Amino acid sequence: MSDVDSRTGDRAEQEHRDDRKRARRDGRALPDDDLRSRVQQIAVRQESFERYLTRELAVDVHGLRAMDHLLTSGPTTPTRLAERLGISTAALSLVTQRLEAAGHVTKARHPQDGRKIVVTPASASAARAEELVAPLIEGVGRLIADMSVDEQRVVQSFLDRLLGVYDDVTP
């Protein structure tokens, strides 16, 4: 890694830590009853976590999204993957070429239809991604386990309605 890359990485890591220290984007503390800001902070933390994953896995945002889909849904055709990501097949071709060159995916002929290609996550890459994401998944699992059934119902209801708001405003 060059000195410039190292300084850029150090600066990004410092920004990441600073983001976590601030309650809001502008650094103001969250009032006890400010649910909207807490929801916003979940989005901010998610963006920060995704930046961390892209750095650790050495992929771009589209590559991370493609890997996420492949790891959660399994191998698929480039056309289906492009549809899932909302990008053109030409753009996906570039994404998969970069992922393949980095050793994150393999491409092979479809076993039943040799005209098609199937994109598959590489096992070493899948293991590394799982290693990076596991602490978050486990932490959320612990939070849920520490909640009473009634608390879980309230949180689930809120999150279901929040998802509905996103669905209502997203075409």
Examine the domain organization and report whether 116 and 137 are in the same domain. no
pLDDT tens digit sequence for 150-163: 999 999 999 999 99
Whether the predicted pLDDT of 6 surpasses 60: no
The Cα–Cα gap between 64 and 51 comes to 10
Examine the domain organization and report whether 143 and 115 are in the same domain. no
The Cα–Cα gap between 168 and 119 comes to 32
Tell me the pTM. Answer: 0.76
**Residue 123 has which token pair?**
């096992």
Going by pLDDT thresholds of 50, 70 and 90, the confidence category of residue 19 is low
pLDDT tens digit sequence for 85-140: 999 999 999 999 999 999 999 999 888 887 889 999 999 999 999 999 999 999 99
Query: Total domain count for the chain?
Result: 3
Examine the domain organization and report whether 99 and 140 are in the same domain. no
Amino acid at 59: V
The Cα–Cα gap between 5 and 17 comes to 18
Examine the domain organization and report whether 1 and 14 are in the same domain. yes
Sequence-distant (6+) residues with CB within 8 A of 78 are 89, 92, 93, 96, 107, 117, 119
Q: Examine the fold and report which residue of 41, 57, 73 is the final residue of a domain before the chain moves on.
A: 57
The Cα–Cα gap between 18 and 25 comes to 10
Residue 148 belongs to what domain range? 123-171
pLDDT tens digit sequence for 43-57: 888 999 999 999 999
